[in-house]
């Protein structure tokens, strides 16, 4: 056996050119049969395995591939299908599986939520009773498939029982602990079957270990894994963690499992210190996640080799496995297809396939089968990217230095600002507005596509955008909305639009990652110093303002959201990158103000999702986020009203930071949260404007006025009516024109009625 082996935790499902997405969607659209779907997915799955084999990876995962989501896969393997779907036991069929994920005409889909602090969303299992049967040993089937079809020995990957239950909705009445215990016999059965097929290693993911873990959790882990060990003693379990260092190394490393997997990238050096301090019990395997599985930068392999060298000394011969820090699900497939990237940048990027090459190179060097010189090229690529002019913009540096550590603050405090703004605008009580976008119709998207392809002249395209703006300004005036927007027709996506206009961003052609189901996103790459080049939104916004006497609100995406939805560079700190974005946006804010746009909304829908997994890191994150937001908005006149928008409502934990943003008006989602949000504001005196979303834009249904009335009166029972705004709960981009106009009409009627009753 080699001294050091290479392994992968998970491989992207989507295929080099999103073949996976296309197969699924054409099946859902009834254009392909189930057989065709299964055949094409099988091909992708086997290709992925073969690719990893060819790359030289020793331990190749199976079971990481999914037809939708791996948490849902785990749920259905135990027959956990919510009662509202037709299911009578046995292996869950494909259409029922998709129904749980996507809903049907008669049954709503299971909820979807974020997978830890990533942009991947999983289907939340609903467990109404303790499971009784392992209805399908999916990983065994996949293991056998790889063996039969490719003659490749693989490593089944499963989601461990503790994390699985913690990720689920427990509706059983059992305590979490007892529910977890009820899964143990089924996991034992699954492992016994793998054992009977002579599976050597099983990767059991327990990612909850990277968040806040209690003593009770650790005791339960001990109990659960001891039972699994007894049940299937010949299968080696590798307990896998990711996204952070673990806090309880000593307890975890002594669990009755044969190996542990730790993150050596997002750990501030902790994992190595832990191994050095406490060692590794003899005979155990350490799977070291030394290549960043979540970001796309090439590693300086000479530097990583230092870690490998230290680990090789600390753990015994044959006990070390090198792998990515987490599943490669979170990065695109291969950079080799990117023909338009500048060479210096392409050389510095690694997607999944390139990351596997990096791992194999490190393992080969550690095993003395290849010469250390092969690591030099990566160091050189990293160096030349760092030294490129794109990363050394003197103006940006000077600007950042100028700000130093001072917390940016507006010249006049909020209450006084609001008074000045009210004096200027004379808004009625309960002013009405929207969140920014209006329907992006097929026509809008087609025109943009044609223009991008050069099939439509810029002048014509811009005229088209102006016509759309005209139309919607008129609609908003007819509806009697108080603060208008231009509608965002020129934007594809709220991050991409700005990224394309700022220095320091690069867009790839095939750099897709799965976000949820078949939906993929292509995060921009922040590779250089971010800088303002020229006005980005002024033309359309100022045009809209010229068409009406009512105020038009400018619309920008905030620095934290742009950062969180990108692949940021890592050679400088997160705070520096966020602040660079903030300073570039500040210029845009100033340009808008110069053009007479005195209401400016800076959207930050992603602040909350970037919250670190560990409590000890949240304060710094929130401080950094608040400062960046303020940096981008403080220089305006007191009369200029800064709005912000967030599309979630569980504010409890971050309400103080929301307040500290010091935005004059915040609009948030509440229509789906049944008043929970209001309680956050009840216990906290929030003295700035608040727009509570009074209807849910995620559904095409036009709300009844009574529903909106109810939402308004609930809010007014808690909030000062002079601070309260009325708006839908998010942008209207995905809605149809007719339903949008009708819903807004109802909203304005409700606002007027409420006004009269005040
Ligand atoms: N202004 C954006 C829009 O209306 C906000 C989108 C969002 O909140 N995600 O589309
Ligand atoms: Zn929103």
Question: Could you give the count of Cα atoms lying within 13 Å of 194 in the half-sphere of its Cβ?
Answer: 35
437 CB near ligand 1 (under 6 Å): yes
Give the long-range contacts of residues 177-186, CB within 8 A, separation 24 or more: 177/216, 177/220, 178/130, 179/127, 179/130, 180/220, 180/224, 181/223, 181/224, 182/130, 182/131, 183/78, 183/131, 184/224, 184/227, 184/228, 186/78, 186/131, 186/133, 186/134
Q: What is the pLDDT of residues 546-584, one digit of tens each?
A: 999 999 999 999 999 999 999 999 999 999 999 999 999
d(CA 486, CA 471): 10
The better pLDDT of the pair 692, 540 is held by 540
CB distance 680 to 651 below 8 Å: yes
CB distance 320 to 284 below 8 Å: no
| Residues 6+ away with beta carbon under 8 Å from 499 | 505, 507, 524, 526, 562, 566
Distance from the alpha carbon of residue 439 to the mean position of ligand 2, in angstroms = 14
From the list 259, 376, 231, the residue with the least C-alpha distance to 316 is 259
In the predicted structure, residue 675 carries a pLDDT above the cut 60 = no
Give the long-range contacts of residues 63-67, CB within 8 A, separation 24 or more: 63/138, 63/139, 63/142, 63/143, 63/156, 63/157, 63/158, 64/9, 64/10, 64/11, 64/13, 64/157, 64/327, 64/329, 65/11, 65/13, 65/41, 65/142, 66/13, 67/24, 67/41, 67/94, 67/97, 67/98
408 CB near ligand 1 (under 6 Å): no
Nearest protein CA to atom 5 of ligand 1, as residue:
731
Ligand nearest to the backbone CA of 734: 1
d(CA 457, CA 480): 35
Which of 121, 136, 486, 698 is catalytic? The answer is 698
User: Of the ranges 219-223, 271-275, 279-283, which one carries the lowest mean pLDDT score?
Assistant: 279-283
Q: What is the pLDDT of residues 487-499, one digit of tens each?
A: 999 998 999 999 9
Q: Give the mean model confidence (pLDDT) for residues 383-407.
A: 92
Q: Give the mean model confidence (pLDDT) for residues 255-263.
A: 98
18 carries a ligand binding annotation: yes
| ipTM for the whole predicted complex goes beyond 0.90 | yes
Return the pLDDT at 686: 86
d(CA 336, CA 355): 12
Cβ–Cβ contacts within 10 Å for residue 363, how many?
25
303 carries a ligand binding annotation: no
557 CB near ligand 1 (under 6 Å): no
In the predicted structure, residue 682 carries a pLDDT above the cut 90 = no
Q: What angle do CA 678, 682, 688 make, to 5 degrees?
A: 85
Q: Would you give the DSSP letter of residue 485?
A: -
Q: Give the mean model confidence (pLDDT) for residues 238-249.
A: 97
Which residues face 282 on adjacent strands?
none
Return the pLDDT at 649: 66
688 carries a ligand binding annotation: no
d(CA 58, CA 35): 32
User: Is the CA virtual torsion 242, 247, 250, 256 positive or negative?
Assistant: negative
d(CA 586, CA 532): 9
Which of 555, 646, 740 is the best mutation target for the ligand 1 pocket, counting ligand atoms within 8 Å of the beta carbon and taking the most? 555
555 CB near ligand 1 (under 6 Å): yes
* Average confidence score pLDDT of the chain: 95
Nearest ligand 1 atom to alpha carbon 646: 8
Q: Give the mean model confidence (pLDDT) for residues 31-39.
A: 98
From the list 250, 166, 277, 272, the residue with the least C-alpha distance to 212 is 166
603 CB near ligand 1 (under 6 Å): yes
554: left (phi over 0), alpha (psi -120 to 50) or beta: beta
User: In terms of residues, how long is the chain?
Assistant: 758
Q: What is the pLDDT of residues 414-455, one digit of tens each?
A: 999 999 999 999 999 999 999 999 999 999 999 999 999 999
In the predicted structure, residue 673 carries a pLDDT above the cut 70 = no
Task: Tell me whether residue 485 is exposed, middle or buried, using C-beta atoms within 10 angstroms of its C-beta: 0 to 12, 13 to 18, 19 or more.
Answer: buried
Q: What is the pLDDT of residues 41-70, one digit of tens each?
A: 999 999 999 999 999 999 999 999 999 999
Distance from the alpha carbon of residue 434 to the mean position of ligand 2, in angstroms = 10
Distance from the alpha carbon of residue 667 to the mean position of ligand 1, in angstroms = 11
Alpha carbon 173 to its chain centroid, in Å, reads 31
Distance from the alpha carbon of residue 667 to the mean position of ligand 2, in angstroms = 9
Nearest ligand 1 atom to alpha carbon 436: 4
Helices (H), 669-732: 676-682, 705-716
Q: Give the mean model confidence (pLDDT) for residues 652-667.
A: 92
Return the pLDDT at 674: 52
CB distance 289 to 323 below 8 Å: yes
Distance from the alpha carbon of residue 565 to the mean position of ligand 2, in angstroms = 14
Q: What torsion do the CA atoms of 354, 360, 365, 369 make, to the nearest 10 degrees? A: -130
435 carries a ligand binding annotation: yes
Distance from the alpha carbon of residue 166 to the mean position of ligand 1, in angstroms = 31
Distance from the alpha carbon of residue 645 to the mean position of ligand 2, in angstroms = 6
Task: Give the E-state strand segments of 539-610 in sequence order.
Answer: 553-557, 567-568, 599-603
Give the confidence band of 701 by pLDDT, cuts at 50, 70, 90. Answer: confident
405 carries a ligand binding annotation: no
Task: Give the E-state strand segments of 277-414 in sequence order.
Answer: 285-291, 320-324
Which of 731, 732, 735, 740 is the best mutation target for the ligand 1 pocket, counting ligand atoms within 8 Å of the beta carbon and taking the most? 731
d(CA 261, CA 242): 8
Nearest ligand 1 atom to alpha carbon 731: 4
d(CA 664, CA 421): 9
d(CA 225, CA 237): 9
Nearest protein CA to atom 10 of ligand 1, as residue:
731
Give the confidence band of 337 by pLDDT, cuts at 50, 70, 90. Answer: very high
CB distance 317 to 286 below 8 Å: no
In the predicted structure, residue 512 carries a pLDDT above the cut 70 = yes
439 CB near ligand 1 (under 6 Å): no
CB distance 280 to 254 below 8 Å: no
CA-atom Rg of the chain in angstroms: 27
Q: Are strands 155-159 and 285-291 parallel, antiparallel or unpaired?
A: unpaired
Q: Give the mean model confidence (pLDDT) for residues 466-484.
A: 98
User: Is the CA virtual torsion 743, 695, 566, 203 positive or negative?
Assistant: negative
Alpha carbon 656 to its chain centroid, in Å, reads 23
Helices (H), 239-288: 249-253, 270-278
SS3 call for 351: coil
Cβ–Cβ contacts within 10 Å for residue 215, how many?
9
448 carries a ligand binding annotation: no
| Residues 6+ away with beta carbon under 8 Å from 88 | none
Nearest ligand 1 atom to alpha carbon 434: 4
487 CB near ligand 1 (under 6 Å): no
Nearest protein CA to atom 9 of ligand 1, as residue:
605
SS3 call for 78: coil
275 CB near ligand 1 (under 6 Å): no
Distance from the alpha carbon of residue 729 to the mean position of ligand 2, in angstroms = 6
Which of 603, 608, 646 is the best mutation target for the ligand 1 pocket, counting ligand atoms within 8 Å of the beta carbon and taking the most? 603
d(CA 320, CA 561): 38
603 carries a ligand binding annotation: yes
Give the residue carrying structure tokens 């002579």: 198
Q: What is the pLDDT of residues 717-755, one digit of tens each?
A: 888 899 999 999 999 999 999 999 999 999 999 999 999
437 carries a ligand binding annotation: yes
Q: What is the pLDDT of residues 111-159, one digit of tens each?
A: 999 999 999 999 999 999 999 999 999 999 999 999 999 999 999 999 9
Q: What angle do CA 401, 564, 440 make, to 5 degrees?
A: 120
Q: Are strands 513-516 and 519-521 parallel, antiparallel or unpaired?
A: antiparallel
Nearest protein CA to atom 1 of ligand 1, as residue:
436
Return the pLDDT at 672: 60
Nearest ligand 1 atom to alpha carbon 730: 8
Retrieve residue 280's tokens. 């590794």
Ligand nearest to the backbone CA of 557: 1
Nearest ligand 1 atom to alpha carbon 491: 10
Nearest protein CA to atom 3 of ligand 1, as residue:
731
State the pTM of this model: 0.95
From the list 634, 649, 498, 467, the residue with the least C-alpha distance to 561 is 498
Nearest ligand 1 atom to alpha carbon 733: 10
Q: What is the pLDDT of residues 374-389, one digit of tens each?
A: 999 999 999 999 999 9
Retrieve residue 478's tokens. 């007819």
Q: Give the mean model confidence (pLDDT) for residues 309-317.
A: 94
89: left (phi over 0), alpha (psi -120 to 50) or beta: left
436 carries a ligand binding annotation: yes
605 CB near ligand 1 (under 6 Å): yes
From the list 592, 624, 591, the residue with the least C-alpha distance to 607 is 624
| Residue 330 annotated among the catalytic residues of the structure | no
730 CB near ligand 1 (under 6 Å): yes
Q: What angle do CA 600, 604, 605 make, to 5 degrees?
A: 130
In the predicted structure, residue 23 carries a pLDDT above the cut 70 = yes
């Amino acid at each position: 056996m080699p001294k050091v082996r290479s392994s992968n935790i998970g491989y992207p499902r989507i295929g080099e050119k999103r073949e996976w997405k296309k197969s699924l969607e054409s099946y859902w659209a009834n254009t392909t049969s189930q057989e065709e779907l299964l055949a094409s997915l099988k091909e992708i799955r086997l290709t992925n395995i073969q690719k990893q084999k060819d790359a030289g990876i020793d331990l190749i995962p199976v079971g990481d591939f999914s037809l939708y989501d791996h948490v849902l896969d785990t749920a259905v393997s135990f027959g956990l299908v919510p009662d509202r779907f037709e299911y009578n036991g046995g292996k869950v069929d494909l259409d029922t599986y998709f129904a749980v994920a996507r809903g049907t005409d008669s049954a709503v889909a299971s909820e979807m939520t974020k997978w830890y602090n990533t942009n991947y969303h999983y289907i939340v299992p609903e467990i109404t009773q303790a499971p009784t049967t392992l209805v399908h040993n999916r990983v065994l089937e996949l293991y056998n498939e790889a063996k039969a079809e490719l003659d490749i020995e693989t490593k089944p990957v499963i989601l461990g029982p503790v994390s699985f239950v913690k990720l689920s909705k427990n509706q059983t009445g059992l305590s979490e602990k007892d529910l977890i215990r009820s899964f143990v016999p089924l996991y034992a059965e699954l492992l016994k079957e793998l054992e009977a097929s002579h599976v050597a290693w099983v990767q059991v993911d327990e990612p909850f270990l990277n968040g806040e873990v209690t003593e009770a959790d650790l005791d339960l882990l001990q109990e659960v894994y001891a039972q699994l060990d007894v049940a299937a003693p010949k299968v080696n379990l590798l307990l896998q963690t990711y996204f952070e260092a673990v806090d309880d190394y000593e307890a975890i490393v002594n669990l009755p499992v044969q190996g542990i997997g730790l993150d050596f990238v997002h750990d501030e050096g902790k994992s190595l210190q832990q191994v050095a301090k406490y060692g590794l019990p003899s005979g155990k395997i350490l799977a070291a996640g030394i290549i960043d599985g979540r970001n796309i930068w090439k590693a300086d392999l000479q530097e990583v080799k230092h870690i490998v060298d230290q680990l090789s000394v600390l753990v015994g011969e044959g006990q070390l496995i090198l792998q990515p820090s987490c599943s490669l699900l979170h990065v695109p497939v291969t950079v080799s297809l990117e023909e338009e990237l500048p060479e210096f940048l392409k050389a510095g990027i690694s997607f999944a396939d390139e990351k596997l090459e990096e791992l194999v190179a490190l393992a080969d060097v550690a095993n003395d089968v290849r010469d250390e010189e092969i690591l030099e090229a990566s160091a050189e690529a990293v160096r030349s990217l760092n030294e490129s002019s794109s990363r050394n913009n003197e103006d940006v540096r000077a600007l950042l230095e100028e700000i130093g550590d001072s917390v940016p603050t507006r010249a006049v405090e909020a209450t006084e600002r609001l008074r000045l703004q009210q004096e200027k605008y004379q808004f009625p009580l309960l002013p009405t507005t929207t969140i920014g976008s209006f329907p992006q119709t097929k026509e809008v998207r087609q025109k943009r596509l044609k223009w991008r392809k050069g099939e439509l002249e810029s002048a014509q395209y811009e005229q088209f955008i102006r016509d759309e703006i005209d139309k919607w300004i008129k609609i908003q005036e007819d509806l009697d909305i108080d603060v208008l927007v231009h509608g965002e027709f020129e934007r594809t996506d709220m991050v991409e639009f700005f990224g394309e206009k700022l220095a320091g961003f690069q867009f790839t052609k095939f750099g897709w990652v799965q976000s949820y189901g078949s939906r993929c996103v292509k995060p921009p790459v922040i590779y250089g110093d971010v800088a303002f080049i020229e006005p980005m939104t002024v033309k359309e916004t100022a045009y809209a303002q010229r068409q009406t006497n009512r105020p038009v609100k400018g619309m920008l995406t905030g620095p934290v959201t742009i950062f969180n939805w990108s692949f940021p560079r890592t050679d400088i700190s997160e705070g520096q990158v966020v602040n660079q974005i903030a300073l570039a946006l500040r210029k845009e804010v100033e340009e808008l103000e110069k053009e007479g746009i005195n209401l400016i909304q800076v959207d930050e829908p992603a602040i909350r999702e970037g919250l670190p997994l560990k409590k000890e890191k949240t304060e710094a994150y929130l401080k950094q986020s608040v400062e960046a937001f303020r940096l981008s908005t403080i220089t305006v006149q007191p009369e200029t009203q800064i709005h912000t928008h967030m599309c979630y409502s569980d504010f409890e934990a971050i309400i103080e930071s929301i307040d500290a943003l010091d935005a004059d008006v915040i609009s948030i989602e509440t229509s789906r949260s049944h008043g929970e949000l209001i309680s956050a504001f009840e216990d906290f005196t929030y003295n700035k404007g608040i727009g509570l979303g009074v209807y849910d834009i995620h559904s095409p249904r036009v709300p009844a006025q009574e529903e909106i009335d109810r939402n308004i009166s609930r809010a007014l029972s808690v909030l000062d009516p002079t601070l309260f705004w009325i708006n839908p709960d998010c942008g209207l981009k995905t809605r149809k024109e007719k339903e949008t106009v009708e819903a807004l009409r109802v909203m304005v009627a409700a606002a007027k009625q409420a006004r009269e009753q005040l």
